[in-house]
Amino acid sequence: MKTSLEKLGSLKRELTVDLSIDIFKQKTDKILRSMASKVTVDGFRKGRVPLSIMRKQFGERAHSDVVNEIVNDTLVEALVDVKVTPASQPMITKIDAENKDIFSYTVTFEIFPEIKVADFSKLKVEQAEVEITEADEEKTLEGLIEQATEYKPVKRKSKEGDQVTIDFKGTLEGEVFEGGVASDFKMVLGKGSMIVGFEDGLLGVCAGESVTLNLTFPKEYHSPQLAAKDVVFEVDMKEVAIPKSLKLDDEFAKRFGEKNIGSLKKSMKIQMQVELDNRLTNQNKDDLFGALLEANNFEVPKESISNEAQSLKQEMEQRLQQQGTPFKGNMPASTFNPEAERRVKLGLLVNQISSDNKFNASKEQIDAKLNKMAATYGDEAQKMLDYYDADPSRLATIELMVVEQMVQDLILESAKVTIKKKTFKEVTQH
């Protein structure tokens, strides 16, 4: 076997493999003999068709099977020979079986980039810190009160503080967008739970009436497909209701599975801290990796971006189906290319750093991570642990999380870190 590798671009490669023509002929004859027992040829019994006749009548049909078999048998060895690892499935671009001495095939593929990670000491990273205050606890308790509050319908126009029940459909350029449809949706007017203008547009509306709201999503909206876009909401007002009075006593605590108001407040504080830790961890990770990406500019395989973009599109479609809104648009997967490229780059960077530093997650680290995650599941904690125990392969995701944390810790040891004080609300409602 003879191999030759040609560089077609920074990441694209073309590999040509030359083999003896006898290999092609032998495999062709083998396939044709197998076919002879299954095909019918005038003048011959099944299984008795001469090989020369089979070559003449079925040689072309056998050709692609022979090529695939040869490529499957030899490509891995050829790639080892030229010392490259494809980042995507090699594509056969050329076949030459006409030469009397040599059979050759050519494949093209992309490779992963060689990454030289930028000096961590030059990174400027912002990390947030939060201290839960009494005011935060009071605000959270108010949320529990709101959650437990019951409402009774009234026959009048809606006003601030009322709970309304609505059906709505939001469209962007005539098409329903992700999360744009809901039925029997309840909200308290004045809480600011929707984009600017939505709640104001429902003031002074009676049950049974409908309104059309022409609104604009904020520029910083978390979904890039909707940020700064003009949309139309068709809203049907189904009910207007006012809150019933509620006492903050032991009976109130029992609504949340606690025996008295003291135990409820204690449990609430623990859950606040758990939520804060999770949100803070994710936000600080995003800020850290954002700085890492900005300092490391390199090209990534186009096929990897396309595959990731396709996955992102499928995730969005699945979310829409779960929300009862089947995806009817014709949005190309390439719409997700920017986020897909970011994810691929970050994955390659983290992998390179962990490889350079020989990071491996120990069993103790994986168990510690699992137990920390389980703490957020409350009564379902053991069920969550049993899920991972049932199939050890599921621990691969936990291992990746541990290694990712090791990479973060390494970067923070050298980077120029600025601590920014934030409020509980800023982090948990971001």
pLDDT in tens, 276-300: 998 999 999 999 999 999 999 999 9
**Domain end point (choices 78, 110, 142):** 110
Higher pLDDT, residue 373 or 345: 345
Domain assignment present for residue 139? The answer is no
Domain with 125 in it: what CATH number? 1.10.3120.10
Q: Are residues 227 and 339 in the same domain?
A: no
Q: Which of 333, 345, 275 is nearest to 112 (CA)?
A: 345
If asked whether residues 219 and 174 sit together in one domain, one would say yes
Query: What value does the mean pLDDT take over residues 69-75?
Result: 93
Over residues 2-21, mean pLDDT? 96
pLDDT tens by residue, 15-66 = 999 999 999 888 887 877 777 666 666 666 666 666 676 676 666 677 888 8
Look up residue 347 and give its two tokens: 């994955």
Neighbours of 50 (CB within 10 A): 11
Residue 282 in contact with residue 406, Cβ under 8 Å? no
Please check whether residue 141 lies inside any domain of the structure.
no
For residues 166 and 210, membership in a common domain is answered with yes
Evaluate the CA torsion angle 193, 194, 197, 201 in order and state its sign: negative
Residue 374: pLDDT band by 50, 70, 90 thresholds?
confident
The residue ranking higher by pLDDT, 223 or 96, is: 96
Task: Show the beta-strand stretches assigned E in 318-357.
Answer: none
User: How sure is the predictor about 245, in pLDDT bands with cuts at 50, 70 and 90?
Assistant: confident
Q: Range of 216's domain?
A: 150-245
CATH number where 240 lies: 3.10.50.40
223 and 265 share a domain? Answer: no
Which residues have CB under 8 Å from 249's CB, separation 6+? 261
Q: Note whether 126 and 90 are same-domain residues.
A: no
Torsion angle defined by CA atoms of residues 111, 116, 118 and 120, in that order, rounded to the nearest 10 degrees: 110
Q: Give pLDDT, residue 147.
A: 85
For residues 300 and 162, membership in a common domain is answered with no
**What is the pLDDT averaged over residues 404-413?**
96
What angle (nearest 5°) sits at the alpha carbon of residue 258, between those of residues 253 and 259? 90
pTM for this predicted structure: 0.70
Which pLDDT belongs to residue 328?
Answer: 63
Question: Average model confidence (pLDDT) for the chain?
Answer: 91
Name the packing angle between helices 21-36 and 51-82 (round to 10°): 130
Question: Are 387 and 257 members of one domain?
Answer: yes
% of residues, the chain, pLDDT over 90 = 70
Single-letter residue type at 57? Q
User: For the chain, how many structural domains are there in total?
Assistant: 3
